Amino acid sequence: MPRDELIARLARQIDAARKTEQFTVNPGDTAALRARGAVELHALCAEFVHSVNSRLTEGSIELSPVEYIPEMFRETGVNLFQVAAQGREMQLAFQAPRELVSTEKFLIPYVLEGEIRSYNQQMLERFEIRTQLLFYCVENGAAQWRYSDLRNFHTGLLTRDVLAGLMERLF
């Protein structure tokens, strides 16, 4: 690995550690932030499902669970939302990291981590499931859901357009 790449990687790690150390919260605040993140993710999925269903002439896509409130968030273990349509599935699985705030898997500090899995029957027969990493990041006093695609190193804010693009590939 060229020396400049090593230096750049080290600089990114130092910056990430500094951001994490600057962001200090108490466990109660983090628990509330995580529950809010889960509600925001469900609301994004619900908006996506509603926007697609409002344009369909036949059939519909479904979101499970249909409704979600902060008390449904599981602090320990995996939380799961599922968007399904005609045998095509998109699962959003997420959980709290080991630490209150982490930069272990993503350079922006996050309080929730997970992945989006998308697949259809043909993909399952080939043992293929597309996966994007998912993080509820805290930066500059705001929290946002971000995704990271390890296949092409693309990252960005999670939006209904991103969800539409992932679901579109399944049809």
Question: 145: how many CB neighbours lie within 10 A of its CB?
Answer: 21
pLDDT tens string 69-84: 999 999 999 999 999 9
Asked whether the predicted pLDDT for residue 1 surpasses 60, the reply is no
Asked whether the predicted pLDDT for residue 28 surpasses 90, the reply is no
Identify the pLDDT of residue 42: 98
Whether 155 contacts 146, CB under 8 Å: yes
In whole angstroms, what is the distance from residue 123 CA to residue 117 CA? 12
* Nearest CA among 67, 61, 87 for reference residue 163: 61
pLDDT tens string 114-159: 999 999 888 888 888 899 999 999 988 789 999 999 888 899 999 9
User: Residue 170: which pLDDT band, with cuts at 50, 70 and 90?
Assistant: confident
User: For the chain, what is the largest distance between any 2 Cα atoms, rounded to a whole number of angstroms?
Assistant: 57
Question: 139: how many CB neighbours lie within 10 A of its CB?
Answer: 13
Counts for the chain of helices (H) and strands (E), in that order: 4, 7
Identify the pLDDT of residue 41: 98
pLDDT tens string 31-51: 999 999 999 999 999 999 999
pLDDT tens string 5-14: 878 878 777 7
Whether 34 contacts 138, CB under 8 Å: no
3-state secondary structure of 44: helix
